[in-house]
Structure 1
Amino acid sequence: MSAIIDFTTAGQNFQAYRAEPTGVVRGAVLVIHEIWGLTGHIKDVADRFAAAGYLAVAPDLMGLAGLDATLLAELGADRNDPVKGAAAQPRIREATAPLRSPESAARIRDGVKEVFNHLEATAEGAGRTAVVGYCFGGTYSFALAVDEPRLAGAVPFYGHANFTAKELAGINCPILAFYGEDDTALTDGLPALIVSMQAAGVDFKYTVFSGAGHAFFNDGNTQTYRAEPARIAWTETLEFLEKHVQ
């Protein structure tokens, strides 16, 4: 069963997609979308977690940064179009510019924490809430691990983790990260991140998939989707949740 639920943070309203499992509940998963917002793909991912036994909530965070969700969905579709793709790139940079401000980042982090607190307050999520995020959501999955000591686990897919040594030392949960080998904007910095995570004492495991790049998990994007890495990552994610969330 699924529903749209409402949240408020710092006087701003936003919504989330909530997918409930049937039968025994294993825990809760906060699902954070890509930069395109709460798309059908992300709702489907939340449904997959529910089918695996987890209460899943996927918030739509774009409005907290002042972004137009309808425009982002349109630009995301254009980006994947062989004809419209090139023309869409400057429009995407312009439309997503607000995300680069510290104020927007703070509002988004507050929104993520609001949803986490909601899950922790449920019987399903109390002490058993993990976060899984993709691209933009992978970055904010890392951020929630930094911000929230009650988090049971974090699974960032191709996210940035630009934090100080002090911030990393505050991480209290295991992290399982996924990358595509061709996503050099992230993989070039991975060796340094590994060293920093080790120095901070974080339980940090990662997989880099050959033949894959950014957004390899998104089966709604035929240009980036890679079926076998996506299948392996999904299996490893469920194994991680089974170990750390239940």
Structure 2
Amino acid sequence: MIPVTQAMIDAYDEYTHLTLDRRGFMEKLTKLAGSGAAAAAIVPLLAANSARAAVVAEDDERVKGEEVSYPGGAGEMKGYLVRPADATGKLPGVIVIHENRGLNPHIRDVTRRIALEGFLALAPDFLAPYGGTPTDEDKARDMFSTLDPARTIADAVASVAFLKSNEGGNGKVGAVGFCWGGGMVNMLAVNDPDLDAAVAYYGAQPKDAAAIAKIKAPLLLHYAGRDERINAGIEAYKKELDVAGKEYQVFVYEDVQHAFNNDTSEARYNKEAADLAWGRTVAFLKEKLA
């Protein structure tokens, strides 16, 4: 089998996050792999595989999940709301923000995992105002380039408000996001003083010092050691957070890739780093949202 190299992973990152289109990606991957057949065999290792079994199945009796609709920033939002089946008291709330493929089966699984940790978990579909997350992940990624940033942030703030008002919640709400969702968590912290905790996995950082100064929520920031594109903004972000006297923690997991938490992506997932970051995330949310 052709080994998956850093250059291949970088090409995939350029395709999924920057300006390289699928044709250009396949051409580059073919050159790196040595043949079209080898490139075709490598693509499933790089991409997320929705066919992989969920860690917490949709019909797991330990959780109760439902599809919900609620007022967004300028229209209707939709999401997936999950709670532990045996919950008896009011629970802290957690918004789970998806990657740039929308509210897909993997993020639904992560939302159920969060619920099992003792949270009322809501995964908004930020493509809902545009027709909802499609099953075709390439189409979903393309849709993200058309999003209105102001409306998307308003929808995120509305999601926090919806969860805060849920009768099963304790009134405190945190947010955890991955990739695009990690960047959105950072922006949510900037724009919502009512957010009680924020966890960003390999998310783009806010660039404006004045915006960073508005952050109220304590931050937990997870980064992948080999994620040069995102990591380029870490030091500037830390500097502004320090200047503004904000509460934050930064963890860089050495020798792992962007999306190391996504266990549906064979070439990029790193169980050791994912488990360590998850443990830190759950402990942080339990402390800040109690």
- The CA deviation at 1:168 is 1.1
Q: Which moved more, 1:16-25 or 1:50-59?
A: 16-25
Residue by residue over 1:4-29, the C-alpha shift from the partner in whole angstroms, topping out at 9 and shown as x without a partner, is 00123355333100001222454010
Q: 2:40: which partner in 1? A: none
Percent identity, please.
29
122, 127, 137: which one pairs with 2:166?
122
Q: Does 1:110 align with 2:154?
A: yes
44, 51, 57: which one pairs with 2:122?
57
| TM-score (norm. length: structure 1) | 0.85
Find the aligned partners of 1:241 and 1:9 in 2 and give their Cα distance: 24
Contact 1:127 1:151 in 2 (8 A): no
Q: 2:108: which partner in 1? A: 43
Find the aligned partners of 2:212 and 2:171 in 1 and give their Cα distance: 21
Q: Does 1:73 align with 2:100?
A: no
Q: 1:189: which partner in 2? A: 233
149, 157, 176: which one pairs with 1:132?
176
166, 169, 186: which one pairs with 2:210?
166
Find the aligned partners of 2:188 and 2:143 in 1 and give their Cα distance: 25
Find the aligned partners of 1:6 and 1:75 in 2 and give their Cα distance: 23
- The CA deviation at 1:113 is 1.2
- The CA deviation at 1:73 is 2.4
- The CA deviation at 1:128 is 1.4
For structure 2, the 5+ residue unaligned runs are 1-63
Residue by residue over 1:186-223, the C-alpha shift from the partner in whole angstroms, topping out at 9 and shown as x without a partner, is 11221111111101111111111112111111111112
91, 94, 105: which one pairs with 1:29?
94
Contact 1:183 1:213 in 2 (8 A): yes
Q: Map of 1:221-236 to 2, 5 A cutoff?
A: 221-236=265-280
Find the aligned partners of 2:74 and 2:91 in 1 and give their Cα distance: 33
Q: Does 1:12 align with 2:60?
A: no
State the SS of the aligned residue for 1:195: helix
Q: 1:213: which partner in 2? A: 257
Instruction: Give the superposed CA RMSD.
Output: 1.9
- The CA deviation at 1:242 is 1.7
Q: Matched residue pairs, number?
A: 225
Which of these two proteins has the greater Rg computed from alpha carbons?
A: 2
Q: Which amino acid aligns with 1:38?
A: L
Find the aligned partners of 2:168 and 2:135 in 1 and give their Cα distance: 35
Find the aligned partners of 1:135 and 1:179 in 2 and give their Cα distance: 10
Contact 2:96 2:176 in 1 (8 A): yes
Mark the CA change 1:171 to 1:13 in structure 2 (over 3 Å): closer, same or farther: same
Mark the CA change 1:74 to 1:163 in structure 2 (over 3 Å): closer, same or farther: closer
